[in-house]
Amino acid sequence: MTNKLENLNNTMKNVFKGFFILIIFFFLFFAVNLFISIQKNKSKSAYDALTSEYEKSQLKLQDTRTHSWSGAEKKK
């Protein structure tokens, strides 16, 4: 009888160890995933935001300057 109880006790210990290890892996994965998502969505500083807006406006101006209006003037 004690042998069966010892086997059951060892089996339960192994089950709980496995369950505990799975929970640890889950929390590690969740922590890494959370850290990566925070790094991706990190808010920009005011300088970075203004610089990127300035660069976007410069690109828009640069695009409008590439059009040639000489063809439109000749048709008039």
- What's the pLDDT at 31? 93
Structure tokens belonging to residue 39: 């790094």
Structure tokens belonging to residue 34: 């959370």
Q: 44: Cβ–Cβ under 8 A, 6 or more apart, which residues?
A: 52
pLDDT tens digit sequence for 6-40? 888 899 999 999 999 999 999 999 999 998 888 77
**Sequential DSSP letters for 38-55:** HHHTPPPPHHHHHHHHHH
State the residue for tokens 């006790």: 9
Report whether pLDDT(75) > 80: no
Distance CA 26, CA 56 (A): 42
Structure tokens belonging to residue 65: 């300057």
